[in-house]
């Protein structure tokens, strides 16, 4: 069983590595450095305005830590076929799950550590805390995560069925329920942030140890929740693939199609003739497929919000350029969306025309996004000159993306 998890983890990591290599391509790394740099600068500038009088920020800080503590789930790497093939070795499967827990624990705690370090300056500025209190804060967050992961382990077993005697009437109050875990984590954070980091840390460690004890007592008396675990793992992987899918093509993520009748008026603007036959197809595919339309919508909304708050300097222009680029280059795979449909190739239409039609779609989508971005900046009371500059920058970028970059990548 140890061997099995080891094997699967190797395969899993290999696959992740392959995708990561695709995600962090040269262009993206440059864009990302720019983005992180900009955000870091904005964060540090903002920190200068924070002082002990901003006690309310402690609530925000608590919220961030609480939400952050949900990051990191148990990578069981269970496959649907396991329910059939591993069923006879149910008892031994505990070893497998323990391995999974060990791996996930390390990974999750690294993330938690990074998160706490990231928000630590804020904590220091508000509470004027000193060295050892900060260590306690780190310990508190790690203990909370440890507690949550133990609960996640308990839920991999069919505890609700076996031990619901006491909790049958109020399953939401069971120690392993999601509600309990949120409440306890929240209380621990309140204790740590508002009262004393040391006290919070001490109580969190006790909670973590008690829950571990509970797990040790519960699992030998219950069976593995196969079906729930398979679904859980599938959802976890889907989340990861969705993320990768933002950057490259992931075959496991297939967008669904929605009719979206309310958007039909947009399509009426498209010309209907042989020269624009592929526009007819691309336009409808774009609006009704959830995959690419969702991508554009998400990035446009995030970009517009960031632009609204990004002030009126270089950061705004940088963000604007970055988001247009992100949308533009992620739309390129849409060109090949219909390549596996034989008719795309046997219509008496040239590949050149297909590319031209696609460029037209790209122009329309990017122009719409650019207009929304410019509106967001204009609404944030930017001077007219700034809005004008942004408009020119967007025009140039769209031209480069459509006429040069798309052609180079696709032709």
Partner 1 sequence: MALAIKHLVGGYSQIPVLKDISFEVQPGELVGLIGLNGAGKSTTINHIIGLLTPMKGSIELNGQTLAANPQAYKAQIAYIPETPILYEELTLKEHLEMTMLAYGLDQTQAWKRAHELLKIFRLDNKLSWFPANFSKGMKQKVMIVCAFLTNAKLFIIDEPFLGLDPLAVHDLLALIKEVKAQGAGVLMSTHVLDTAEKACDRFVLLHSGEVQTQGTFAEIRAAYPDAGASLNDIYLALTGVTRDE
Q: How far is the CB of 328 from partner 1 (least distance, A)?
A: 21
Task: Please identify, using beta-carbon distances, which residue of 115 and 281 lies nearer to partner 1.
Answer: 281
Q: How many whole angstroms separate alpha carbon 153 and alpha carbon 96? A: 12
Q: How far is the CB of 393 from partner 1 (least distance, A)?
A: 33
Our finding on whether 134 is near partner 1 (CB under 8 A) is no
Q: How far is the CB of 363 from partner 1 (least distance, A)?
A: 20
Our finding on whether 284 is near partner 1 (CB under 8 A) is yes
Our finding on whether 56 is near partner 1 (CB under 8 A) is no
Task: Please identify, using beta-carbon distances, which residue of 198 and 280 lies nearer to partner 1.
Answer: 280
Q: What is the DSSP letter of 257?
A: B
In the structure encoding, which two tokens stand for residue 172, read together? 């939401």
CB neighbour burial string for 129-159, b if at least 16 within 10 angstroms, e if fewer: beeebbebbbbbbbbbbbbbbbbbbbbbbbb
Per-residue binder mask for partner 1 (CB under 8 A), 311-350, x = binder: ---------------------------x--xxx-xxxxxx
Task: Please identify, using beta-carbon distances, which residue of 14 and 274 lies nearer to partner 1.
Answer: 274
Q: Please provide the DSSP assignment of 15-79 as one string.
A: HHHHHHHHHT-HHHHHHHHHHHHHHHHHHHHHHTT--TT-TTHHHHHHHHHHHHTT---------
Our finding on whether 411 is near partner 1 (CB under 8 A) is no
List, in order, residues 6 or more apart from 138 with CB less than 8 Å away: 113, 116, 117
Task: Please identify, using beta-carbon distances, which residue of 52 and 251 lies nearer to partner 1.
Answer: 251
Q: What is the DSSP letter of 223?
A: -
Please identify which residue in 4, 9, 218, 277 interacts with partner 1, judged by CB under 8 A: 277
Our finding on whether 269 is near partner 1 (CB under 8 A) is no
Our finding on whether 259 is near partner 1 (CB under 8 A) is yes
Tell me the window of 63-71, 205-213, 273-281, 390-398 that interacts with partner 1 (CB under 8 A).
Answer: 273-281
Please identify which residue in 34, 167, 241, 280 interacts with partner 1, judged by CB under 8 A: 280
Q: Please, what is the angle between helix 57-68 and helix 93-127, to 10°? A: 170
Task: Please identify, using beta-carbon distances, which residue of 53 and 259 lies nearer to partner 1.
Answer: 259
Per-residue binder mask for partner 1 (CB under 8 A), 210-249, x = binder: ----------------------------------------
Residue 331 bridge partners (DSSP) = none
Our finding on whether 49 is near partner 1 (CB under 8 A) is no
Q: How far is the CB of 409 from partner 1 (least distance, A)?
A: 23
Our finding on whether 276 is near partner 1 (CB under 8 A) is yes
Q: What is the DSSP letter of 92?
A: T
- Residue 289: phi, psi to the nearest 5? -70, 135
Please identify which residue in 289, 319, 335, 362 interacts with partner 1, judged by CB under 8 A: 289
- Residue 375: phi, psi to the nearest 5? -60, -40
In the structure encoding, which two tokens stand for residue 371, read together? 């207009």
Q: How many whole angstroms separate alpha carbon 265 and alpha carbon 223? A: 55
- Tell me how many degrees the CA angle 261-263-264 measures, rounded to the nearest 5: 70
Tell me the window of 124-132, 224-232, 281-289, 388-396 that interacts with partner 1 (CB under 8 A).
Answer: 281-289
Q: What is the DSSP letter of 347?
A: S
Our finding on whether 273 is near partner 1 (CB under 8 A) is yes
- Enumerate binding residues for partner 1 (CB under 8 A): 257, 259, 272-274, 276-277, 280-281, 284-285, 288-289, 338, 341-343, 345-350
């Amino acid at each position: 069983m140890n061997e099995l998890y080891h094997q699967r983890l190797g395969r899993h990591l290999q696959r992740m590595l392959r995708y990561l290599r695709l995600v962090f391509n040269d262009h993206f790394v440059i864009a990302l450095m720019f983005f992180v740099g900009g955000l870091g600068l904005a964060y540090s500038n903002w920190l200068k305005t924070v002082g002990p009088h901003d006690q309310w920020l402690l609530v925000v800080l608590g919220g961030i830590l609480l939400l952050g503590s949900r990051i990191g789930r148990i990578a069981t790497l269970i496959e649907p076929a396991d329910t059939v093939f591993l069923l006879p070795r149910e008892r031994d499967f505990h070893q497998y799950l323990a391995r999974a827990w060990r791996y996930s624990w390390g990974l999750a705690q690294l993330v938690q550590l990074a998160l706490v370090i990231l928000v630590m300056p804020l904590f220091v500025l508000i509470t004027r805390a000193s060295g050892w209190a900060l260590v306690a804060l780190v310990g508190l967050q790690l203990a909370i995560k440890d507690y949550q992961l133990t609960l996640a382990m308990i839920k991999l077993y069919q505890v609700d069925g076996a031990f619901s005697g006491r909790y049958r009437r109020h399953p939401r109050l069971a120690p392993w329920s999601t509600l309990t875990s949120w409440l306890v984590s929240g209380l621990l954070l309140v204790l740590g942030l508002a009262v004393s980091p040391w006290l919070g840390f001490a109580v969190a460690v006790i909670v973590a140890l008690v829950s571990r004890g509970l797990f040790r007592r519960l699992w030998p008396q219950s069976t593995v929740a196969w079906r729930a675990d398979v679904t859980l793992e599938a959802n976890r992987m889907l989340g990861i693939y969705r993320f990768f899918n933002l950057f490259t093509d992931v075959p496991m993520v297939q967008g669904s199609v929605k009719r979206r009748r309310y958007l039909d008026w947009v399509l009426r603007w498209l010309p209907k003739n042989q020269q624009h036959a592929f526009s007819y197809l691309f336009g409808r595919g774009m609006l009704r497929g959830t995959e690419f339309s969702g991508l554009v919508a998400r990035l446009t909304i995030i970009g517009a919000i960031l632009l609204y708050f990004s002030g009126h300097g270089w950061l705004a222009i940088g963000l604007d350029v970055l988001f247009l680029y992100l949308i533009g280059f992620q739309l390129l795979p849409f060109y090949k969306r219909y390549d596996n449909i034989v008719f795309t190739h046997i219509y008496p239409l040239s590949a050149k025309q297909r590319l031209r039609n696609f460029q037209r779609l790209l122009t329309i989508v990017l122009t719409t996004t650019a207009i929304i971005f410019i509106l967001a900046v204009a609404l944030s009371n930017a001077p007219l000159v700034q809005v004008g500059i942004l408009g020119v920058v967007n025009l140039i970028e769209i031209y480069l993306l459509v006429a040069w970059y798309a052609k180079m990548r696709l032709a």
